[in-house]
A = this chain, B = another copy of it.
């Protein structure tokens, strides 16, 4: 007796609460409604509600305390794993804008790719895109993404403006980033990158090459990111 679609109830509640947290309806430190209250509110039983909350806790959106409740926690990894921290204050998602430089296109994988590829990936072809990400109208990231064309129908037709690639993948294809690896170095930017990031000559750039593992077997997400760390620094946990 599913109401509408075949999305599990615990998943629906997870999405609802997650949205409420990220949109600020619950502030950091707030107590979520108790499990029994959520049962009444959304017409589920406690195991189902608990499954939703377990997911939220696992993804760092809440902390559970026995006898007390579920405390809201704002995960710092805003832009999936790669978040920015200003020198003075943290930056919300509001001021972050994305400009597409190269729309998603299906190409052949480049020779000499930065990571080793599986046969399946090579055969499937590569979804390629370039994006410039601005914080308060100042360009911060230049992001080149590579993605194997595995189980992602019509992705090149979607609108990416002001939506993170992660969000698109999560909402429409149920792809979750589980982890990954990265190489980091400080470089002198190429003229092209310097132009996009509006850098003065001699200003160094942070370069990240990352490979992200997803919940989908065989699907990885690669990006080469150039980052102006003049005003902001890249923040990460480990």
* Chain A residues packing against B (C-beta within 8 Å): 47, 54, 58, 60, 63, 76, 81, 85, 178-188, 202-207, 209, 217, 227, 229, 233-238
Say how far A61's CB is from chain B's closest CB, in angstroms: 13
Interface centre among A54, A81, A186, A237 (most CB of B within 10 A): A186
Contact present for B236 and A182 (CB under 8 Å): yes
Contact indicator A234/B184 (Cβ below 8 Å): yes
Main secondary structure, interface of A, reads strand
A186: contacting residue among B76, B179, B183, B229, CB under 8 A: B229
B204 and A188 contact, CB distance less than 8 A: yes
Number of copies: 2
Counting from the closest, the 10 A-B pairs by CB-CB distance are: A204-B204, A185-B229, A186-B186, A186-B204, A183-B233, A186-B206, A185-B233, A184-B234, A181-B237, A186-B229
CA distance A204 to B202 in the complex (A): 9
For residue A205, which residues in chain B have a CB less than 8 angstroms away from its CB? 186, 204
| Bound-state Cα–Cα, A52 to B176, Å | 21
Smallest CB-CB separation from A182: which chain B residue? B236
Contacts of A178 in B (CB 8 A): 60
> Are A229 and B184 in contact, CB atoms less than 8 angstroms apart?
yes
A-B contact pairs, 17 of them (CB 8 A): A60-B179, A179-B238, A180-B237, A181-B237, A182-B238, A183-B233, A184-B235, A185-B234, A186-B205, A188-B203, A188-B204, A204-B205, A206-B206, A209-B233, A236-B238, A237-B238, A238-B238
